[in-house]
Structure 1
Amino acid sequence: MRILLDTHAFLWGLADSGRLSRRALRLMEDEGNELLWSAASSWEVAIKYALGRIRLPEPPGRYLPARLQAQRVDPLPVSDAHAWRVAELPPHHRDPFDRLLIAQALVEGLPIVTADRAFKKYDVDILW
């Protein structure tokens, strides 16, 4: 199964914080699943790191790529179709990064691993 990871889901799993649900952890550990990391998540981490809202041992451009690869997480670029789909979303969720993840999930037909309850207001499959 192809699965889109919300930013926090990957970071929580990476930190082994115990915050992932059992189901999310199982899905992320299942080598039969194709895990996807959006370029929007990279952008989100970069901005939050620059603002001091997220701490990492080193800058995200050095820290995350090797960890994404080690966890078998493939990149999902942001396309024009993804960006345009954001304009069609109802305003249930105001976070621009999450709105783009929702749009990507809708365009690509992907379920999302997320603990964000606001995602449930959209017609996307939530895996948690």
Structure 2
Amino acid sequence: MGWTSRDSRRHRRLGSRRPRSLCPVRGFGRFVRLLLDSHVVLWWLTSDPRLGPRCVDMIVGADEVAFSAVTPWELGIKRASGKLSYPDDMVAQLRASGFVERSITVEDGVLAAELPPHHRDPFDRMLIAQAISSAFVLVTSDDQLAAYEVALLDAGA
């Protein structure tokens, strides 16, 4: 289930509250909150090497790591069409990793609708809106999202 680095195992024993000493993140402010793009969730769960070591360290050391309600929705549509697969207990695995769920609010919907049309994918637009409205750094490898005024972390770094 996901990454098994020493820090990640230590975090699981400590519960959902990550101590400041584990936080290697600099430059994003005092309290680091990450929102994972859907493909990053898959990479995390499968220990995919496309998820870079710096990114893994930042996820492990962040104060809060969230996944959106968009993720099981988007991935479920792709799984139903045969484009990908993921574990049936994906959400349980994410919770076990200490990640928190981020629901979609009406305000998120309004903000997603008002975003400039740089990117047409409605799932990505919702993730951008959620990251902006809740002060998350969005972890992604989708370089098209840089067109928006949202804090990004390169998943491949």
Give the TM-score normalised by the residue count of structure 2.
0.74
| 1:15 alignment counterpart | 46
Unaligned runs of 5+ residues in structure 1 are none
For residues 71-113 of structure 1, what are the alpha-carbon distances to aligned partners after superposition, in whole Å with 9 as ceiling and x for unaligned? Answer: 1110000000000101111111111100100011111111111
Question: Whose Rg is larger?
Answer: 2
Unaligned runs of 5+ residues in structure 2 are 1-31
Q: Percent identity?
A: 39
Give 1:53 shift: 1.0
- SS of 1:78's partner is coil
Give 1:127 shift: 1.0
| 1:28 alignment counterpart | 59
| 2:89 alignment counterpart | 63
* Structural mapping, 1:1-128, within 5 Å: 1-30=32-61, 32-57=62-87, 62-128=88-154
> Number of aligned pairs?
123
- SS of 2:100's partner is strand
Give 1:123 shift: 0.4
- SS of 2:89's partner is helix
The AA in structure 2 aligned to 1:108 is S
CA distance in 2, matches of 1:77, 1:25: 24
Compare the two structures and name the one with the higher helix fraction.
1
Deviating runs (4+, > 6 A) in structure 1? none
- Aligned-residue CA RMSD (Å): 1.2
The AA in structure 2 aligned to 1:13 is W
